[in-house]
Structures are given as C-alpha cells and as structure tokens.
Amino acid sequence: MATRAIDCWVNVNMGEQAKPEWLIRVKEDYFRAGDEFFKNLTIDETLEMMNRVGCEKAVVTVDAERPSERVLEFPRRQPARFALAAGVSPNSLLKGCWALEDLARNERVVMARVVPFQVDLPPDHRNYYPLYAKCAELDLPISINTGIPGPPVPGECQNPMHLDRVCLDFPQLRICMAHGADPWWGVAIRLMIKYRNLHLMTSAYSPRYFPPELVHFMNTRGQEKILFASDHPVLSTERCIKEASELDLRPGVLDKFLYANAERLFFSPRKPRH
C-alpha cells in the first residue's frame, strides 16, 4: 500500500496570529526555526504540499470564539481535504461552549482543542468541565496538549496524569493527547491502556526522536491509539512523514499511525445527543 496520511495539526495562519514572547522564544530557542515559522499558507500551496507527500487530509486550527474567515475557507472550498479543530479556552466557560456548538453546527469541525499551558490550569480543573460535557453531548473528540511545553511557560499543568480523573468522570468523551507527552511517556501509555477512549497524537514531536517505549506501544497494545500530526510548518508534514516511514514498525502499523486511526477518531460519523 502506498503511504497515505492525515495530518491532525496544520497551522495555516501563523502569520496573522499574535506573537507573544513565549512564541518568539519557542521559535528561536526550541525549534530554531526560520521565517517559515510565521507564515500564512494559502489553500493552493497547502494542497500542493499535501499532494506531494501523500497527505490526504489536514486538520487546521481556528479559534471557536473568533474564527478566522481565512481559515474557514479551507474546508469550505475543499471539504474532502480540510477539516477544523476548534480552539476553546476553558476560562470562557459557557460562552466558549456555545461558540464551539455554533461552529460545529455550521462548519466542518472534527475536534475541539485546548492548550493547558496557555491558561496554566490542569485539565482536571473545574473550568474545563463544561467543555467536556459539551463535547460529550456533541460526540466531538477533544485534543488536549500534554508534556512539558517547548516555550518558557508553566509545564506541570500538562502532566498527562491530570487526565486520569477526566477519563473517569467522562468515560464517553474521546480524548487525544497532543504534542506528545515528554517526559511522561510512561504515564501517558499507562493511561491509554487504562482508558479505551484516550489517544495521543505526535504533533510537534519529530518521529526521529520517539522514545523506544512509544514505538513498542505502537507495535503492540497501542496500534489503535497513536495518531500522526506534524504542527506544520513548525515541523513540516513532509519531514514527519519521511521520519515516520523510517520507524521500526510491524506490518500495517505505519498506515494505522499515519492514516487509519485519525480517520476513525476524527472523521467517522458522529452521534450527538440532542
């Protein structure tokens, strides 16, 4: 089978986003990136890149409360190729939930997205719970960043152990840890074994540097649990697919990682409760 992929985290509007000091620092000090880091991508050049590397679909991020019309145009013009991750702040409480619901009703939203370090609140804080309830009601998966962040911001709030209580309280909620789980890979893997609706995407983490325990999990009990993502252009989709193809994976596991797991988790029909 030819390599096929779904990239679960692609940034197409980095050039129009605010540039706080932590974002400058992660560009300069952590990724040591060039000018491409803060670049807006057009639909045509994004499709050209995807076609070149065998990426069939990409999930682009939009703010649920202040959605960029430019980003919304990606799935509107190319619904077979693009979908939305709706970013929500847990501090918005019901306002954020209602914005997510409106966006999911009118646009091609396949997941909600929260980034704990941006509010320095762990995912088991009460401010997240209205959002979890809304996602469960909408049957909408949610992406939650885990692992110590690259920029100089608080990191303990992203310890995956904070998801233990969330998974207990919301067993129907489909959760995908994002940006890996470094240095808590063992905790993340143990939690994924414990909870059937907990997954992990490898956005912003180069496959070349996957720890041995993650590769072992991908080859064994975690074949259905680990999803590909790049955080393009922070790490390019092309580089990440190439490095993923070089991993020591058992037959069939690469396709699950690059494509099939995301297709099932994010693109299968939803069954919202009305």
pLDDT digits (tens, 9 = 90+) for 85-126: 999 999 999 999 999 999 999 999 999 999 999 999 999 999
Residue 105 tokens, joined: 């009703």
Q: pLDDT band at 24, cuts 50/70/90? A: confident
Query: What mean pLDDT value characterizes the chain?
Result: 94
Tell me which residue has tokens 């041995």: 212
pLDDT digits (tens, 9 = 90+) for 218-236: 999 999 999 999 999 999 9
Provide the pLDDT for residue 21. Answer: 76
Stretch 30-42: mean pLDDT: 78
How does DSSP assign 12-71, residue by residue? SBGGGS---HHHHHIIIIII---GGGG-B--HHHHHHHHHHHTEEEEEEEEESSS--HHH
CA 154 to chain centre: 20
Provide the pLDDT for residue 121. Answer: 98
Sign of CA dihedral 116, 25, 6, 179: negative
For the chain, what percent of residues have pLDDT higher than 90?
A: 86
- Residue 90: DSSP 8-state: G
Is the pLDDT confidence value at 35 over 90?
A: no
Query: Which residues partner with 55 through β-bridges?
Result: 5
| CATH code, 5-267 | 3.20.20.140
Checking 88-95 for CB contacts under 8 A at 24+ apart, the result is 88/64, 88/112, 88/113, 88/114, 88/131, 89/65, 89/114, 89/118, 89/119, 90/114, 90/119, 90/121, 90/125, 90/127, 90/128, 90/131, 91/119, 91/121, 91/127, 92/65, 93/127, 93/130, 94/130, 95/65
Helix (H, G, I), strand (E, B) or coil at 200: strand
The amino acid that residue 47 corresponds to is L
pLDDT digits (tens, 9 = 90+) for 178-193: 999 999 999 999 999 9
Stretch 164-173: mean pLDDT: 98
Provide the pLDDT for residue 273. Answer: 85
